[in-house]
Amino acid sequence: MYRYWKKRFKTTLEQDEELEAIKKELKKLVKKKFGGSLAIRMVDSGSCNACEAECNALSNPYYNLEELGIHFVASPRHADVMFLSGVMTFNMYHHAIDCYNQIPSPKWVIAIGDCVKDLGVFEKTYAIKGNSIEVTHYIPNCPPSPKDIIAGFLEFAREV
């Protein structure tokens, strides 16, 4: 039993080292490319809220996205990036477009989750409008883990 826990603990430590390396590089890129601060406006355009739950975990002390200079804002006018989750429903379409238009230039859109890309199980429902907002970067999985989201931010920062 001791060997099992020792092996499991070692795996956790290795994962922590990988996450810390990602966070370290991301912090450097945020400082270099965005002046040390990247503001994100989260828009749920019709999801099951699993992606939002994972994004909430980014604020806890373990992931601590704030220390990297990345933070979520309430107003799109204060944002650099629109974080889009879920399928685009008819009811949310105009709100998402309005949010996008209010973000000052230069602006980017990061899509999170599989629903944004291929509509998932919602493909044949009558309430789906379809996404017409140009997506800059896509973070896959349903839902992506907080570590996947941070790695996605790193890929986005490298691309921009």
The pLDDT value recorded for residue 15 is 63
The pLDDT value recorded for residue 7 is 52
pLDDT band of residue 57 (cuts 50, 70, 90) is very high
Averaged pLDDT, 127-141: 86
Q: What is the pLDDT of residues 64-110, one digit of tens each?
A: 999 999 999 999 999 999 999 988 888 899 999 999 999 999 999 99
Supply the mean pLDDT for the chain: 87
The pLDDT value recorded for residue 5 is 47
Query: Within 10 Å of residue 106's Cβ, how many Cβ atoms?
Result: 8
DSSP string, the chain: -HHHHHHHHHHHHHHHHHHHHHHHHHHHHHHHHHTT-EEEEEEESS--SHHHHHHHGGGSTTT-GGGGTEEE-S-GGG-SEEEEES--BHHHHHHHHHHHHHSPSS-EEEEESHHHHH-GGGTT-TTB----SPPSEEE-SSSPPHHHHHHHHHHHHHH-
pLDDT band of residue 58 (cuts 50, 70, 90) is very high
- Domains of the chain as residue ranges with CATH: 37-159 (3.40.50.12280)
What CA–CA distances, in Å, run from 137 to 31, 81, 90? 19, 10, 23
